[in-house]
C-alpha cells in the first residue's frame, strides 16, 4: 500500500485495513499477530477512540452476520466489550493524572 493510499483513508478505513493486515500476519505467526492486534487496539483506543469503537461494533456485526453468536448473546457481548473500552479509557485517564504529579 502506497503512502498516498493510506492518506486517502478515513480513520475507520485505516483501522479496518490495519486489522486486515494483522489477519494476514496471523496466517504466518499467530503469536506475533496477537501482540500486534493488542498494540493496534491500544493505539487506536488512545488516539482514535471513535474509530476503535466503530471497529468494535463492525466486528460484532460481522460475527452476528456469520451466525457465530446468537442475537441475545451478541448484544450482551457487544455491551460488555463497549464497557471494557470505557473502563480502559478511564484507566488511561487515571494513569495520565498520576503521571502529571
Lowest mean pLDDT among 9-23, 27-41, 60-74: 60-74
pTM: 0.75
Domain boundaries, the chain: 3-99
Mean pLDDT in the chain? 88
Q: Which three cell numbers stand for residue 32?
A: 506475533
pLDDT at 14: 93
Q: What is the pLDDT of residues 42-65, one digit of tens each?
A: 999 999 999 999 888 888 887 766
Amino acid at each position: 500500500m502506497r503512502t498516498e493510499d493510506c492518506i486517502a483513508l478515513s480513520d475507520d478505513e485505516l483501522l479496518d485495513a490495519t486489522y486486515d493486515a494483522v489477519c494476514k500476519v496471523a496466517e504466518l505467526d499467530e503469536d506475533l499477530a496477537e501482540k500486534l492486534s493488542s498494540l493496534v487496539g491500544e493505539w487506536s483506543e488512545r488516539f482514535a477512540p471513535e474509530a476503535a469503537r466503530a471497529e468494535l461494533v463492525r466486528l460484532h456485526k460481522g460475527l452476528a452476520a456469520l451466525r457465530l453468536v446468537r442475537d441475545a448473546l451478541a448484544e450482551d457481548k457487544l455491551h460488555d466489550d463497549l464497557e471494557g473500552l470505557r473502563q480502559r479509557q478511564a484507566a488511561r485517564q487515571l494513569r495520565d493524572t498520576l503521571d502529571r504529579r
